[in-house]
């Protein structure tokens, strides 16, 4: 029996599409209602892996995902970058000219705002992209369309009238595959950590200097509030390399000396993009 992979949402969600991109169309999936349930489902052993959305190129980071990573012992197995394409779908037999309303998650509606305005439709916020397709399929309305993934249109047997209707082509979402395993090295690897600095001048500068002095490229860094400790941020950071490599082990050892807290989130095979450096 194939390993189950959990995702947040209902069938047809972009997270499910990311699973099929990474694991193949035959992957066995397990939907969960929220991100908290996604983590607990993996930790319980009901599934082998989970697909966690971590950031979107347009909307930014998924805050809850970072908080859950901080509190969890799950390890990142891989990262997946999905090119998000929105599709316009209607109940079978509905004509393009009869559409007056279009429903979807507010973020998807915002990403297709010019397209919707150009056609003179009224946007209707819905709780979920895939949910807008599912609900429309169950209760067809002759003047209403949904915006969701092409996968949702296929699953709920809606007619997909147009695809790639998003206003901005550069719409990518990055996901982490989560599990209990320690993944093998890939051709290109990243390591994700979270750390906190000591309360003194130049503390962050000194920590980042450990990367610079070893020529280790930081691909992402973001500060977030530390829960239960007001005004004390933590830093989520990705860098090129695997912790098994000697120069990365040396880096982490030095970082442990300089920082007040360091937590490893995972070393994993990663997707290499042309925008993979923040120049630190």
Known catalytic residues are 173, 175
Contact between 51 and 186 (Cβ < 8 Å): no
Sign of the C-alpha dihedral computed for residues 240, 244, 245 and 247 taken in this order? positive
Q: Tokens 């946007």 belong to which residue?
A: 123
Q: How many other CB atoms are there within 10 angstroms of residue 112's CB atom? A: 24
HEC profile for 34-62?
CHHHHHHHHHCCCCCEEEEEEEECCCEEC
- Alpha carbons 263 and 233: distance in angstroms, whole number: 14
Q: Which helix (H) or strand (E) holds 142?
A: none
- Alpha carbons 98 and 245: distance in angstroms, whole number: 60
């Amino acid at each position: 029996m194939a390993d189950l992979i959990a995702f947040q949402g209902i069938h047809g969600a972009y997270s499910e599409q990311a699973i099929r991109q990474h694991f193949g169309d035959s992957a066995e999936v397990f939907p969960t209602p929220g991100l908290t349930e996604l983590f607990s489902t993996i930790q319980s052993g009901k599934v082998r892996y989970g697909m966690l959305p971590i950031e979107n190129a347009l909307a930014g980071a998924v805050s809850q995902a970072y908080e859950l990573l901080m509190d969890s012992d799950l390890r990142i197995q891989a990262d997946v970058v999905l090119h998000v394409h929105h599709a316009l779908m209607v109940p079978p037999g509905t004509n393009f000219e009869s559409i007056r309303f279009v429903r979807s998650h507010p973020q998807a509606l915002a990403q297709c705002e010019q397209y919707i305005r150009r056609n003179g439709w009224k946007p209707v916020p819905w709780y979920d992209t895939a949910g807008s397709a599912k609900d429309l399929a169950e209760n067809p309305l002759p003047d209403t369309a949904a915006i969701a993934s092409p996968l949702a249109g296929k699953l709920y047997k809606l007619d997909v009238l147009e695809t790639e209707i998003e206003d901005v082509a550069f719409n990518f979402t990055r996901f982490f595959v989560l599990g209990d395993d320690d993944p093998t090295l890939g051709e290109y690897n990243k390591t994700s950590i979270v750390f906190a600095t000591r309360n003194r001048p130049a503390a962050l500068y000194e920590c980042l200097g450990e990367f610079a002095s070893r020529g280790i490229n930081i691909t992402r860094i973001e500060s977030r509030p530390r829960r239960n400790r007001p005004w004390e941020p933590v830093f989520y950071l990705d860098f090129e390399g695997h912790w098994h490599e000697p120069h990365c082990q040396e880096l982490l050892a030095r970082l442990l000396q300089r920082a007040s807290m360091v937590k490893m989130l995972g070393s994993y095979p990663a997707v290499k993009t042309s925008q993979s450096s923040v120049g630190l």
